Structure 1
């Protein structure tokens, strides 16, 4: 278990073991690559971030991840794999499931309602970008990216 404080001042716990928390995840976050670049979305208020969101009624956590990626970027996921779960200790604590995914295609004409659309970044661009969302800059994301880099062979396109 990795414990940290996010940039909003909330205590967080990150686990790479399934079912580590008693609270079922109702939020998703997806780290995906397309043609060797990270798939991000441009949120109008928060900045560049990995796609994600809330699980809707009747949806599995995986279905929510696939839907959120498509809604926010126009990207279709070919494969998805659970990576981690983290809990945010707000007044009402919640957990978020983190997935890795491989993108099959991106519909560049996809109408983006929630975001400003898809952004593709190299590893170097991601690490140096000043317009990242707050959660993209915290210690939890750094630890998640380290874990993903350990599995880098799965990202080869």
Structure 2
């Protein structure tokens, strides 16, 4: 288990296994050898993700969130682990690395302005970055993705 502190000072833990009652998902997607982000209407550029809807599996939820926020269709998924934010009401988020096969233009991306492609997270201008990109746990997961064989690293 890895431990971190988030931007609100809360303890965050990450384990490389599934956790019961996980109701949130996070995608770290790649398309044509670039990281696929979304531009949240309030927070800025971040990885896609969100809540699991009733009756959905984690895999269905992460693919739906990816499509809703970026217009991307997944080719393959790799479960990475679960991170838990130890807030007053703790919550778990399942993390997936995703190879994207297609990126479709959409007229509406719900709470985002759609897809943003970058070679790496460091290429995103500071004023455009979501605070979530600088979260210790998410930064760790991103760095792990750069070395993961799933994305051709390591």
TM-score by length of 2: 0.91
> What CA RMSD, in Å, does the superposition of the two structures yield over aligned residues?
1.4
Decide whether the 8 Å contact of 2:78 with 2:150 is kept in 1: no
How far residue 154 of structure 1 moved from its aligned partner, in angstroms, is 2.4
C-alpha deviations, 1:72-130, integer Å up to 9, x for none? 0000001111002100011110000000011010112342122101100112xx12421
| Counterpart check, 1:11 vs 2:11 | yes
Aligned-partner Cα distance in 2 for 1:149–1:107:
25
C-alpha deviations, 1:23-59, integer Å up to 9, x for none? 4210000001001110110001111011000000000
TM-score by length of 1: 0.90
Match of 1:56 in 2: 53
- Structure 1 residue ranges (4+ consecutive) displaced by more than 4 angstroms after TM superposition: none
- How many residue pairs get aligned? The number is 150
* Aligned positions of 1:32-47 closer than 5 A: 32-47=29-44
Decide whether the 8 Å contact of 1:27 with 1:53 is kept in 2: yes
Structure 1 stretches of 5 or more lacking a match?
none
